[in-house]
Amino acid sequence: MITKSKKWPLQEAKNKFSEVIRKASEEGPQTVTKHGKDSVVVLSVEDYRELEQPKTSLVQFFQKSPLSKVEVALERDKYPCI
């Protein structure tokens, strides 16, 4: 489950990498900053898979689309492309 991320300055994240990994697994994503700006996020494989997994199938996506209510007349070109 993805929750609020803790921020780690790059040098501290390097020095405490094992802790960053442990916290990512137990507490959620951990943001690493570089020069005070967010740079990368370390997250558990479970959180990554949750983000990677589509919420709906492609068919469901198109069925929910506003374009699914629009009728479109398509014609096929009878002449082959050269």
Give me 68's structure tokens: 């699914």
Report pLDDT digits (tens) over 25-43.
999 999 999 999 999 999 9
The dihedral sign for the CA sequence 44, 50, 29, 32: positive
In this predicted structure, what is the pLDDT of residue 52? 86
The domain segmentation of the chain, as residue ranges, is: 6-65
Chain centroid, CA 65 distance in Å: 21
The amino acid at 74: L
Output 69 or 44, whichever has higher pLDDT.
44
* Angle, alpha carbons 25-12-2 (nearest 5°): 30
Q: In this predicted model, what pLDDT tens digit does every residue of 63-78 receive, in sequence order?
A: 888 877 777 777 887 8
- At 3 the pLDDT is 55
pTM of the model: 0.62
CATH superfamily of 6-65: YefM-like domain (3.40.1620.10)
Kindly state the percentage of the chain with pLDDT values over 70: 94
The DSSP secondary-structure symbol of 29 reads: -
